[in-house]
Amino acid sequence: MKGSLVIVGFFVLGILAGLSGIVPEKIVEGNLTFYALCALLFFVGIGVGSDRNIVSRFKSLDVRMALLPAGTMLGTFAGALAAALILPGRSATDCLAVGSGFGYYSLSSIFITGYRGAELGTVALLSNIIREMATLLLAPLLVRIGGPLAPIAAGGVTSMDTTLPIIMASSGKEYSVLSLFHGFVLEFSIPFMVTFWCTI
């Protein structure tokens, strides 16, 4: 949760800097978000590549359980389409792009801002932060209502990092490898899914 507040804090600082006019126009009109995205993807790749045990942990998964990321994607897309029916002025592809962040607010919001503008990028940022916070706060209730897989699906990408401790406490330590795998697959899919929905 602390990490989410830090991200929101930097976002607010960016808004204030933009409003004040202290940022040079070259930076504002340049490809800064593209370079920031490249750097972010580079560091995500380092994080994945530096985990030497990731392949052996994933091999121990039950094949049926390995389908959970696909179920999370389908459920998220169904929810995004339902939101498109309710929200005025938002297309189905806008909502699907926001949903494709799967809780990874920093990565998805940069992509969406680049493709669809700052307004939808801000919606993506807040939507994905709310997803993470809801998982952190409601994981025990989700287990009671939907079973041990529910908080993993709700956490999306965050099931492999920030929400992993609460998932392990609520669902059980035996779900930790599945939770890591789930987050890893969703994280890998984000650049492709967000780009797909933003460009069709």
Angle in degrees, 0-180, between the axes of helices 176-199 and 32-49, rounded to the nearest 10 = 150
Looking at the structure, do residues 61 and 145 belong to the same domain, yes or no?
yes
Which of 76, 35, 56 minimizes the C-alpha distance to 159?
A: 76
Looking at the structure, do residues 174 and 105 belong to the same domain, yes or no?
yes
Hey, what are 117's tokens? 């503008």
| CA contacts within 13 A on the Cβ side of 45 | 7
Structural domain that includes position 176: 32-199
Looking at the structure, do residues 36 and 129 belong to the same domain, yes or no?
yes
Looking at the structure, do residues 26 and 67 belong to the same domain, yes or no?
no
pLDDT at 28: 66
Looking at the structure, do residues 173 and 92 belong to the same domain, yes or no?
yes
Cα dihedral: 111, 188, 48, 57 (round 10): 160
Looking at the structure, do residues 95 and 167 belong to the same domain, yes or no?
yes
Neighbours of 67 (CB within 10 A): 10
Looking at the structure, do residues 25 and 81 belong to the same domain, yes or no?
no
Looking at the structure, do residues 21 and 98 belong to the same domain, yes or no?
no
**Mean pLDDT across the chain:** 85
Q: φ, ψ for residue 68 (rounded to 5)?
A: -55, -40
pLDDT tens digits for range 79-136 = 999 999 999 889 999 999 999 999 988 888 888 998 999 999 999 999 999 998 899 8
Distance CA(200)–CA(192), nearest Å, equals 12
Distance CA(78)–CA(28), nearest Å, equals 35
DSSP 158: G
Looking at the structure, do residues 141 and 56 belong to the same domain, yes or no?
yes
Looking at the structure, do residues 86 and 101 belong to the same domain, yes or no?
yes
Looking at the structure, do residues 41 and 20 belong to the same domain, yes or no?
no
CA angle 30, 7, 141 (to 5 degrees): 140
Distance CA(78)–CA(161), nearest Å, equals 25
Instruction: Indicate whether this model's pTM tops 0.85.
Output: no
Looking at the structure, do residues 172 and 137 belong to the same domain, yes or no?
yes
One-letter identity of residue 84? A
DSSP 108: H
pLDDT at 57: 65
Distance CA(145)–CA(143), nearest Å, equals 6
Give me the number of domains the chain comprises: 2
- 3-state DSSP assignment of residue 63: coil
Of the listed ranges 12-26, 76-90, 124-138, 184-198, the one predicted with least confidence: 12-26
